[in-house]
Structure 1
Amino acid sequence: MKGNEKSKVILADRDGFYLQRLKRCLERKGDMTVMGMTDSGPAVLEMAKQGKPDVILMDILLGERDGFWVLENLKKEGISCICILISAIDSDKLVRQAIILGADYYMAKPIQGDLLMERIHQLLRQESGEKAQGAKKEKEPEIAENPFRNLEGEISVMLSRMGISASIRGYHFIRKAVLMAVEDQDVLVGITKGLYPDIAKMYKTSASKVERAIRHAIESAWKKNGPQVYFEAAGYLPAEKPTNGQFIAALSEFFRIQGEERPKKIG
């Protein structure tokens, strides 16, 4: 996007009243414009073909076809935009399927307006940064699809399912730690002297505050849905809540294996 150009958004949900609420929420700050609203999957696809949106925000369950069908056909048509799926169904299988099909983020209803705006702006900034970086490099033929694409979104979904709120600093520290550990397992060796200080520099805080915030986030998760989701990822449930290192190691290993197991597309 250029200058003060508004981000174009398509909304899709079977609830017309809910669509109007979403529209008011997104257009409140004046940097987004809703270019279309519908309850139909094929209509979403047609609007995307004609209007080239920046963001598509849709429920999985639509009146005609569903959100998964839309994701599959966006990919077939070569339409690139940020896709956020929302649903009242909080199912790990649905989340994984959405991410595999190309969704950039998944949110469970009811959605907090401020959190939704924050996520959209984060995804737009990330996409804008990737495009700017790509423009500086000479285009090379794509050899293989990055198996860790959308990793940040997948980690966010898992932390949210555990009950770790994005409003606390520990959420962001854990997500960054897992991302770093997936890319380089060696960061888990001596996290007190390496990982914590590195994250602290990124967020302009201290290593001790990073450690405490992560510990607090894990304690919070363990009182909610954390044990169940941790078991799904790690394959076992410890007698006591895991330490920071154990928690980060388990999640990073889960996402690393997931990334390696995904089929790679040769271009």
Structure 2
Amino acid sequence: MGQTIDILIVDDNQEFCQLLAEFFEVNEKFNVVEILHDGEQVLEFLKNNENPDVLILDLIMPHLDGIGVLEELNSQDLIGEMKVIALTAMGHDKIMKTVIDLGVHYYIMKPFDLDKLQQRIKQLMEKNTGVSENIHFQDPQLEIENGNYIPYITQIIQELGVPAHIKGYRYVRQAVKMVIKDMDLLGAVTKELYPRVADEFDSTPSRVERAIRHAIDVAWQRGNQKALKKYFKNNINENVKPTNSQFIARIADKIVVDLKVS
């Protein structure tokens, strides 16, 4: 697959759209053609422009929701070869069936792993097969029960404001995943945790350490202050950035506690 994949992002959450766009734009195989924030804009755009390869469509939006958009696109025969990915925070079977009937190729629940979304888009474009073969329903709670904490970790990292395009984003996510499975790693961050993360990404322990520190710096300077205060209240009050191990430990601890409660 040599050609660029054109993507249209539609979601009323502007920060989320920016996050997605930054994530895709670091990969030359993807091209974000436009970012829109309500259903009516989508219809206007698709009537006046050539269809993108992929439409990423949030189902909950002002003016005209995602289902309304899909109904209009169907009635006007505007979907064509375009692959449609529906995003939602609600995992109702009825909604899932409705959007699938309306031509959605991939139905994914928030929060989700950006790498998995990118992988799924590539699969959709490579297979180029019928809708029924491409349906996938992701249940975050089920993922957690099966030991895959990545969607939950991703949600927290995104909430804190770590940009998806920097290396530290993936390193932090992997480190938290490893710590959840083995809390003893927090006592051997330099000797064990960094080398293990480095092995996963064909990097070095020192690069992992620096990249995670950079991710924390960026979040601290430009991230979501409300979220930072929620997770790192003591650090905010004392105006002291958390260390790498404190940052990783806090996210891991939050997930472990939440899982025990649920």
Which range, TM-score by smaller chain? Answer: 0.5 to 0.7
Q: What residue number does 1:73 align with? A: 94
Query: Structure 2 CA distance, aligned partners of 1:37 and 1:206?
Result: 38
Shift in Å at residue 250 of structure 1?
Answer: 0.3
Give the structure 1 partner of residue 205 of structure 2: 207
> Residue by residue, what CA displacement relative to the aligned partner does 1:144-201 show, whole Å, maximum 9, x if unpaired?
9454577423332332333321111111100111111122222222010111001111
1:103 equivalenced with 2:113 (yes/no): no
Aligned-pair CA distance for 1:15: 3.0
Q: Does 1:178 align with 2:163?
A: no
| Aligned with 1:194 (options 192, 195, 198) | 192
Identity of aligned residues (%): 28
The 2-side partners of 1:24 and 1:120 are apart by 25
Contact 1:227/1:237 (<8 A) preserved: no
The equivalent residue for 2:214 is 216
Q: Report deviation, 1:248.
A: 0.2
The alignment yields a C-alpha RMSD, in angstroms, of 4.8
Contact 1:188–1:249 (CA under 8 A) maintained in structure 2 = yes
Structure 2 unaligned spans of 5+: 12-37, 74-78, 125-140
User: In the TM superposition, what is the alpha-carbon distance from 1:224 to its structure 2 partner?
Assistant: 1.9
Question: Does the 8 Å contact 2:55/2:85 carry over to 1?
Answer: no
Q: Which of 86, 93, 104 lines up with 1:57 in the alignment?
A: 86
1:249 counterpart = 2:249: yes
Aligned residues between the structures: 199
With over 3 angstroms needed to count, the CA separation of the structure-2 counterparts of 1:33 and 1:208, relative to structure 1, is closer
Change (3 A) 1:43 1:126: same
Q: CA deviation at 1:212?
A: 0.8
Aligned-partner residue type, residue 256 of structure 1: V
CA contact 1:234–1:254 (8 Å) conserved in 2:
no
Per the TM alignment, residue 256 of structure 1 is displaced from its structure 2 partner at its CA by: 1.7
User: Is residue 147–residue 260 contact of structure 1 (8 Å, CA) maintained in 2?
Assistant: no
Distance in 2, Cα, partners of 1:251 & 1:36: 29
Instruction: Give the letter for the 1:56 counterpart.
Output: I
- In the alignment, the residues of structure 2 paired with residue 148 and residue 168 of structure 1 have an alpha-carbon distance, to the nearest angstrom, of 29
CA distance in 1, matches of 2:189, 2:123: 27
Name the SS of the counterpart of 1:56 in structure 2: strand
Residue 39 of structure 2: aligned partner: 14
Q: CA–CA distance in 1 between the matches of 2:123 and 2:248?
A: 23
Cα distance between partner residues in 1 of 2:91 and 2:10: 12
- Separation of aligned partners in 1, 2:176 and 2:50: 32
Report the TM-score, using the length of structure 2 for normalisation.
Answer: 0.56
250-259 or 228-237, larger mean C-alpha shift: 228-237
Stretches of structure 1 that go unaligned for 5 or more consecutive residues are 1-5, 59-66, 85-101, 107-115, 128-143, 263-267
